[in-house]
Amino acid sequence: MITFSYKDDNLFCESVDLTQVADTEGTPLYVYSLSGVLSTLERFRRSFADYPHKLCFALKANSNSGLLKILAGQGVGADVVSGGELQLALNAGFPPEKIAYAGVGKTDSEIEFAIRSRIMALNIESMQELKVTAAIAERLKIVTPVAIRVNPDIDIEGHPYLTTGKSANKFGIPFSKVREAFIWAAAQPYLRPVGIHSHIGSNIVKIDPWIMNAKKLTDFIIHLKADGIELEHVDLGGGFGVDYGTVLTEQGNPLLLDPEVVIPKLIDIIKKSGCECILEPGRSIIGPHGVLLTRVLFTKQSRGKRFVVVDAGMNDLLRPSLYNAHHEILPLQYRNDKREKADIVGPVCETGDFLGLDRNLPPLQRGDLLAIMTAGAYGYTLASNYNSRPRPAEVLVEKNQYRIIREREIL
């Protein structure tokens, strides 16, 4: 389900005219569609049928507290990677027993906070972290559930910055050392090994890496039983890729990797382990259902090149500058005029501050509004105050209404 469409040449989110929202609330402005998010959640849920599972939403994709409260209310769990995210998840009402905490660099106080919060599992990323966690758990006299994050050396064949499961990446413990880690953990009085975790990357668009990951983990769990260690869950991480190209058609599928195809195949593999399946989707849940609205400040021509300077920059949406990521850019008022190439650039004092280069767009004037599409994930969470710019406001659309879920920042 794609929730953005033109009605009488005006871009709408569900039944809300985005021009009216931008005129009232100002720009830059993030806008999310609730029905889009809920429909994607439903697709994930359906895919599991009645297989035991937990969907743990990855807060790093979007940690707006208004949105998190809705997800927690839907029975979803949380995947967090810092003490700050853990606090946000708890504040939003995610039950601790549905929270997984990964991250290569947890501080002692973050580990203590997670142990005291009695979360589902700390996903441990090194032997040293395992030993520190055991010592803190012993000091607190709290038996702590841990999962070991494996680095399975699997290539998702995606952007190098979004690849996390190759041996050259900093994440997880190599397979050759994982058995030793589990045996050590099982012998500790205050550790309880409950799961195995492997998140191999983000925006994965091929099914093969998923299948390979599931097979490697399942084989391992079965072998570990011979050591007398019975795990409860297998956590395959997040990473479902979204379509940054097709952003409008009603029949469009915002996900490039369909959970309803992939998840049954994964379950077919992991059911031999007898373990519950955990997934940690972030981008796929919210990415396609959010846009960043921005207004044209100035237009200019330089040696045949057209620049459109808008009021949103790399501090509001970093993905184009950081990953050279493509986001479709649409005028809020559709015009059938002849299109010409233009660079859509922000106001930040960096040449790398752009939202789209060489885009075919109709003539644009000062005051025109644009939507940067598919910006719901890794948009606001990567925003900063660079150039001392306040971060944008965020609104949530529900059918024909919207509400502000975060005020515009005041510096």
Nearer to ligand PLP, 238 or 290 (CB): 238
- Environment class of 141 (CB within 10 Å of its CB; exposed 0-12, middle 13-18, buried 19+): exposed
Q: Is 25 in the site for ligand PLP (CB under 6 A)?
A: no
Q: Is 379 in the site for ligand PLP (CB under 6 A)?
A: no
Q: Is 259 in the site for ligand PLP (CB under 6 A)?
A: no
User: 276: closest CA among 229, 236, 228, 225?
Assistant: 236
Question: Is the backbone of residue 265 left (phi > 0), alpha (psi -120 to 50) or beta?
Answer: alpha
Q: Which of 83, 165, 238, 392 binds ligand PLP (CB under 6 A)?
A: 238
Contacting ligand PLP within 41-70 (CB under 6 A): 58, 60-61
Nearer to ligand PLP, 57 or 402 (CB): 57
Distance CA 74, CA 72 (A): 5
Burial 41-77 (b: 16+ CB within 10 A, else e): bebbbebbeeeebbbbbbbbbbbbebbbebbbeeebb
Q: Is 283 in the site for ligand PLP (CB under 6 A)?
A: yes
Contact between residue 27 and residue 294 where contact means Cβ atoms under 8 Å apart: yes
Q: Is 254 in the site for ligand PLP (CB under 6 A)?
A: no
Question: Which residue's entry shows tokens 């699997």?
Answer: 154
Binding characters for ligand PLP, 322-361, by CB under 6 A (x = yes): ----------------------------------------
Nearer to ligand PLP, 106 or 283 (CB): 283
For this structure, is 275 an active site residue? no
Cα distances (Å, whole numbers) of residue 206 to 44, 219, 343: 17, 22, 31
Contacting ligand PLP within 91-120 (CB under 6 A): 102
Nearer to ligand PLP, 61 or 70 (CB): 61
- DSSP line for 58-112: ETTT---HHHHHHHHHTT-EEEESSHHHHHHHHHHT--GGGEEE--TT--HHHHH
Distance in Å from the first CA to the final CA of the chain: 37
From 13, 56, 277, 349, the catalytic residue: 349
User: Phi then psi for 371, rounded to 5 degrees?
Assistant: -115, 125
Q: At its nearest, how many Å lie between ligand PLP and the CB of residue 275? A: 18
Q: At its nearest, how many Å lie between ligand PLP and the CB of residue 154? A: 14
Q: Is 239 in the site for ligand PLP (CB under 6 A)?
A: yes
Q: Is 126 in the site for ligand PLP (CB under 6 A)?
A: no
Nearer to ligand PLP, 188 or 284 (CB): 284
Q: Which H or E run contains 34?
A: helix 34-48
Nearer to ligand PLP, 319 or 389 (CB): 319
Nearer to ligand PLP, 86 or 377 (CB): 377
Stretch that binds ligand PLP, among 2-10, 64-72, 84-92, 278-286 (CB under 6 A): 278-286
Distance CA 21, CA 268 (A): 46
Q: Is 172 in the site for ligand PLP (CB under 6 A)?
A: no
CA angle 349, 358, 12 (to 5 degrees): 90
Binding characters for ligand PLP, 309-328, by CB under 6 A (x = yes): --------------------
Total site size for ligand PLP, rule CB under 6 A: 18
Q: Is 240 in the site for ligand PLP (CB under 6 A)?
A: yes
- Non-local (6+) Cβ contacts of 193 within 8 A are 145, 146, 147, 148, 182, 185, 186, 229, 231
Distance CA 363, CA 337 (A): 7
Residue 164 corresponds to which tokens in the numbers above? Answer: 């996390």
Q: Which of 77, 281, 356, 376 binds ligand PLP (CB under 6 A)?
A: 281
Q: Which of 25, 79, 129, 394 binds ligand PLP (CB under 6 A)?
A: 79
Distance CA 269, CA 316 (A): 41
Q: Which residues are catalytic?
A: 349
Residues that bind ligand PLP (CB under 6 A): 58, 60-61, 79, 102, 199, 202-203, 237-240, 280-284, 377
